[in-house]
Amino acid sequence: MLFSNWAGWALEVLAFALLIAIGIAILIAVTLFIIDKTQTQDAIRRNYPVIGRFRHLFSTLGEFFRQYFFAMDREELPFNRAQRDWVKHAAAGHSNTVAFGSTRNISVVGTPIFVNAAFPPLDDQFASTEPMLIGPHCRQPYTAQSIFNISGMSYGALSKPAVRALSRGAKLAGIWMNTGEGGVSPYHFEGGCDLVFQIGTAKYGVRDHDGNLSYEKLKELADHPQVKMIELKLAQGAKPGKGGILPAAKVTPEIAEIRGIRVGEASISPNRHPDIDDWGDLLDMIDHIREATGKPVGFKTVIGNIEAWRPLFELIAQRGEASAPDFITLDGGEGGTGAAPMPLMDLVGMPIREALPVFNNLRDEFGLKERIRLVASGKMVNPGDVALALALGADFVTSARGFMFSLGCIQALKCNRNTCPTGITTHNPRFQKGLVVEDKDKKVAHYAKSVIKEVETIAHSVGVAEPRLMRRRHVRIVQADGTSIPFNRILPSFNAPPE
């Protein structure tokens, strides 16, 4: 009897709760109907109240459902599942061997195919990549150990735990880390890695009260033993001709102090350096920074018209090779990790595969191959990308998004919204808790070492002892008729011997 009474009471409570829920649902539906019918911004919701809201919901969710359920391994952009999975396995220290054949369609026009040697070197004839000197005319030249390094990503665009993990991982892997244009933070120094300090158009971290470059602050920063080189950012692949963009939601008090800006206000850098109007100004600033710091100085840019760069090399020839930048970082128009206007991200800037060989030819034409080191950047996350860049003339390759994937990035495409679900590009403590530095730093190191090892494997396969010995003749490019031709027939190297 007692059980029967309790069951009856529970059913009554459940029925009452259900009636309340139905009533609330009806009230919400009526409210939404009135709101949708009277609003004037959205024609779909005005004509189809309530149910019209599902269109926006499905459009938003479709982006994520496609990623997991509908897109094939090689279909997604900007990075497909096969690329992301390779980084994930490499970062975890797992084998990246596959079975039953490649899923890559090698008949697609533009696909690079490396030319294997008939008699490649034996394993004991294989040499690891040699360190390379940068800045021979500097008081403190830099001997870079690795061909593969971390590209510029600012603290501000990245979260505190992300920067900490990258710094510690870079030290474990023996690679350099570019600070990005947002100034240098304590978290960059934390891991003890080599740093390339980037000076953006707003001079964050080394600016005076008027926003001009403070050589006193720069010298003080460069005196730190971890700061190995200085990079002037002229342009980046995500937004050539447009300065950096840090949304107001990401400008915390700490970031504002590091950058020298106001809290809670969007940080928009000038579209170029106001104090650099021509090639002479550029070389003068490089010389002044090099003299003040004693360290190698270069710049980062995106190529549009290659002939527009010829006057720079002509001026270097007039002034002497000591006046040249110590390195030049070429970012492809396909590059980009942060917030950028879609027209610039989609349509402006030469892709790295085209820019790198033509710029390399220009450098070699003026006899500056040993003087100016070329660093390639822009959507290179897997060993094949890195190997191709080296074969086309790069001395080093840097990656930003590859290392974001090693931190756990799921390509949620929320980098500019402060809502990154993996804690990489957000300053929301709730999301940052998911990024455990003590785990991710090892994944950063595993990823870097895996890329380097497999690039060396490709180099060995084509018959050379180390990656920088790869040449354009070692890569064939698939044509429209399905055949492939050597890259050196598409664009020969400057003064290349007959091959």
163 and 37, same domain (yes or no):
no
Each residue's pLDDT tens digit, 192-229: 999 999 999 889 989 888 788 999 999 999 999 999 99
Point out the least confidently predicted range of 117-121, 167-171, 280-284, 430-434: 430-434
* pLDDT at residue 140, as a whole number: 97
* pLDDT at residue 484, as a whole number: 92
Residue 113 forms part of a structural domain: no
Residue 136 forms part of a structural domain: yes
Residue 197 forms part of a structural domain: yes
Structure tokens at 163: 């920067």
* pLDDT at residue 2, as a whole number: 46
The mean pLDDT of 152-169, rounded to a whole number, is 91
Pick from 21-35, 125-139, 475-489 the range whose average pLDDT is largest. 475-489
For 122, counting Cβ atoms within 10 Å of its Cβ (0-12 exposed, 13-18 middle, 19+ buried), the class is exposed
Report d(CA 366, CA 445) in Å as an integer.
37
What CATH number does the domain containing 356 carry?
Answer: 3.20.20.70
335 and 399, same domain (yes or no):
yes
Each residue's pLDDT tens digit, 124-152: 777 678 899 999 999 999 999 999 999 99
Question: Which is nearest to 221 in space by CA: 245, 248, 250, 196?
Answer: 196
378 and 453, same domain (yes or no):
yes
* pLDDT at residue 239, as a whole number: 59
Task: Name the average pLDDT for the chain.
Answer: 84
The proportion of the chain whose per-residue pLDDT surpasses 90, expressed as a percent, equals 45
Query: Bigger pLDDT: 219 or 52?
Result: 219
367 and 443, same domain (yes or no):
yes
Domain final position from 70, 88, 106: 70
Query: Bigger pLDDT: 103 or 213?
Result: 213
* pLDDT at residue 410, as a whole number: 77
The mean pLDDT of 100-125, rounded to a whole number, is 81
- The yes-or-no verdict on residue 312 having pLDDT over 90 is yes
**CA geometry: angle 429, 430, 434, nearest 5 deg:** 95
* pLDDT at residue 498, as a whole number: 44
163 and 260, same domain (yes or no):
yes
Pick from 55-59, 85-89, 328-332, 409-413 the range whose average pLDDT is largest. 328-332
Each residue's pLDDT tens digit, 70-95: 555 555 556 666 777 777 778 887 77
338 and 191, same domain (yes or no):
yes
289 and 217, same domain (yes or no):
yes
Residue 91 forms part of a structural domain: no
Q: Give the domain range for residue 35.
A: 2-70
Report the sign of the C-alpha dihedral through residues 299, 342, 405, 160, in that order.
positive
- The yes-or-no verdict on residue 345 having pLDDT over 80 is no
307 and 394, same domain (yes or no):
yes
* pLDDT at residue 446, as a whole number: 94
Total domain count, the chain: 2
266 and 343, same domain (yes or no):
yes
208 and 347, same domain (yes or no):
yes
- The yes-or-no verdict on residue 33 having pLDDT over 80 is yes
Report d(CA 488, CA 475) in Å as an integer.
8
Report the sign of the C-alpha dihedral through residues 399, 337, 236, 385, in that order.
positive
The pTM assigned to this predicted structure is: 0.83
64 and 142, same domain (yes or no):
no
Residue 166 forms part of a structural domain: yes
21 and 152, same domain (yes or no):
no
The mean pLDDT of 381-406, rounded to a whole number, is 93
Residue 289 forms part of a structural domain: yes
- The yes-or-no verdict on residue 313 having pLDDT over 90 is yes
* pLDDT at residue 71, as a whole number: 53
Residue 220 forms part of a structural domain: yes
* pLDDT at residue 268, as a whole number: 78
The mean pLDDT of 361-376, rounded to a whole number, is 96
Residue 106 forms part of a structural domain: no
Report d(CA 227, CA 245) in Å as an integer.
25
